[in-house]
Amino acid sequence: MPVQETDDKVIVTFPNDDTTSVTVLKYGATVISWKVAGEEKLWVSEGAHLDGSKPVRGGIPLVFPIFGKLKDESHATGALPQHGFARNSTWEFLGQVGEKLPSVQFGLGPENIDPELYKKWGGGKYDFTLIFTVTLHDDALKTDIEVENTGNEAFDFNWLFHTYYKIPDITDVLVNNLTDEKCFDQLLAEEYIEKSPVVQFHEEFDRIYKSVRNDKYIQIIDKGKVLMTLERVNLPDAVVWNPWIKKSEGMADFLPKLGYHNMLCIEPGHVSDFVNLKAGDKWSGSQICETHHDIKQQSNIY
Active site members: 162, 267
Name the residue nearer to ligand BG6 (CB basis): 90 or 129.
90
Q: Considering only residues 87 through 146, tell me which ones interact with ligand BG6, judged by CB under 6 A.
A: none
Beta carbon of residue 162, minimum distance to ligand BG6 (angstroms, whole number):
6
Q: How far is the CB of 97 from ligand BG6 (least distance, A)?
A: 29
Q: Quick one: 104 or 218, whose CB is closer to ligand BG6?
A: 218
Distance of CA 130 to the CA centre of its chain: 15
Q: Is 11 exposed, middle or buried (0-12, 13-18, 19+ CB in 10 A)?
A: middle
- The 8 Å CB, 24+ separation contacts for 116-124 are 117/80, 117/81, 117/85, 117/88, 117/89, 118/85, 120/79, 120/80, 120/81, 120/85, 121/65, 121/76, 121/77, 121/79, 121/80, 121/84, 121/85, 121/155, 122/76, 122/77, 122/155
Nearer to ligand BG6, 134 or 239 (CB): 239
The reply on whether position 82 binds ligand BG6 by CB under 6 A is yes
Please say which residue, 84 or 102, places its beta carbon nearer to ligand BG6: 84
Q: Which is nearer to ligand BG6, 186 or 214 (CB)?
A: 186
Beta bridge partners of 166: 263
Name the minimum Å distance from CB 205 to ligand BG6: 9
**Per CB under 6 A, 162 contacts ligand BG6:** yes
Minimum distance of ligand BG6 from residue 206's CB (angstroms) = 5
Q: Which residues are annotated as a binding site?
A: 57, 82, 87
Q: Which of residues 197-216 bind ligand BG6 (CB under 6 A)?
A: 206
41 counts as binding ligand BG6 under rule CB under 6 A: no
* Contact call for residue 241 and ligand BG6 (CB under 6 A): yes
* Cα–Cα dist 235/210, whole Å: 10
Under 8 Å between Cβ of 77 and 99:
no
- Whole-Å CA distances, 272 to 131, 147, 289: 22, 18, 22
Q: Which residues of 49-73 are buried (b: 16+ CB within 10 A; e: fewer)?
A: ebeeeebbbbbbbbbbbbbeebeee
Binding ligand BG6 (rule: CB under 6 A), the pick from 66, 239, 264, 266 is 239
Full strand arrangement of the beta sheet holding 39-40: 3-5, 9-14, 17-25, 30-36, 39-40
**CA 264 distance to own-chain centroid:** 12
Sequence ranges of the binding site for substrate:
57, 82, 87
Cβ closest to ligand BG6, residue 82 vs residue 152: 82
Closest distance between ligand BG6 and the C-beta of residue 239, in Å?
5
- In whole angstroms, give the CA distance from residue 93 to residue 72: 34
185 touches ligand BG6 by CB under 6 A = no
Query: Total residues contacting ligand BG6 (rule CB under 6 A)?
Result: 8
Per-residue mark of binding to ligand BG6, 250-289 (x: CB under 6 A)? -----------------x----------------------
Give the residues lining the site for ligand BG6 (CB under 6 A): 82-83, 162, 186, 206, 239, 241, 267
